[in-house]
Amino acid sequence: MGAKPSLTRIGATLRAAALAYPDAREEFPWGESAFKVKGKVFLFFGADAKELGLSVKIPRSAMAALMMPFAFPTPYNLGKSGWVSAKFGARDKVPVELLLSWIDESYREIAPKTLVATLSPVEQRSRKR
């Protein structure tokens, strides 16, 4: 069994996945990474050696997500709209595949339907890494 990947390495994987979506862009309002499609945020994100955090709009998965110990409703009343946040420390096991699925759901929730139509169905989609 290999060493656990660092938070910065996991962060790079999640960042690359977010940028792989059609018309996805990374911007830095408020000094944090925000991934947008057509001007609308689908992922707030930050990662360094000590902490990884993200917020996504996942209304279909929110109830199940909020049962996990690392997840909580996104502040600023965004939680009421299906936004969920998650935080991990350097010693935590990060469920990368789950977070990738949340990013996918969030993109599909926020992106215009014409862009979503260009994507493969979730269960058949292979992610580029």
Residues in contact with 125: Cβ distance below 8 Å, sequence separation at least 6, in sequence order: 104, 119
| Total number of residues shown for the chain | 129
Residue 121 pLDDT exceeds 80: no
- What mean pLDDT comes out for the span 25-51? 92
pLDDT band at 80 (very low <50, low <70, confident <90, very high): confident
For residue 88, report the phi and psi dihedrals to the nearest 5 degrees. Answer: -140, 140
First to last CA, the chain: 21
The stretch 18-39 carries a mean pLDDT of 93
- Assess contact for 91 and 50: CB atoms under 8 A: no
pLDDT at 89 over 90: yes
Predicted confidence (pLDDT) at residue 30 exceeds the cutoff of 60: yes
